[in-house]
Amino acid sequence: MKIKVKFFASYREIAGRSEAVLDLTDGSSLGILLEDLKGRYPKLGSLTDSIIASVNKRYAKEDLVLKDGDEVALLPPVSGG
């Protein structure tokens, strides 16, 4: 299945890109996707904090099972206002 990934702010700079499309085994969870991304982008992997992410524009936990076409975003600690 194809998952669209968006990188924001410091994560965008760390990954060196703002978007990617990943091909994952059906039934993979958000946690598995995050592990995969940490492997592809070693600087992401070296982050000690756990990465907050959204799936289809809602905050999601690592055990959420993804489905084809989902949009995942990696969200650094927010600082609006």
Partner 1 sequence: MILVTEDDFSVDDVLKKIRNERTGAVVSFVGVVREEDRGRKVRKMEMEAYKDMAVGELSNLREKAMKKFGLEEIAIIHRVGSFSPGDNIVLIAVAAGHRKEAFAGAEYLIDEMKKIVPLWKKEIFEDGEIWVEGGH
From 25, 58, 63, 68, residue interacting with partner 1 (rule: CB under 8 A): 58
From 21, 26, 46, 57, residue interacting with partner 1 (rule: CB under 8 A): 57
- Interaction of residue 80 with partner 1, rule CB under 8 A: yes
CA distances (Å), 5 to each of 10, 11, 66, 68, in order?
A: 15, 12, 12, 12
Query: Residue 50 and residue 53: Cα distance in Å, rounded?
Result: 10
- Interaction of residue 20 with partner 1, rule CB under 8 A: no
- Interaction of residue 81 with partner 1, rule CB under 8 A: yes
Q: Please say whether the beta carbons of 43 and 15 come within 8 A.
A: yes
- The nearer residue to partner 1, 34 or 73, going by C-beta atoms, is 73
- H or E element, residue 72: strand 71-75
- Chain residues that interact with partner 1, rule: CB under 8 A: 6, 8-10, 54, 57-59, 73, 75-81
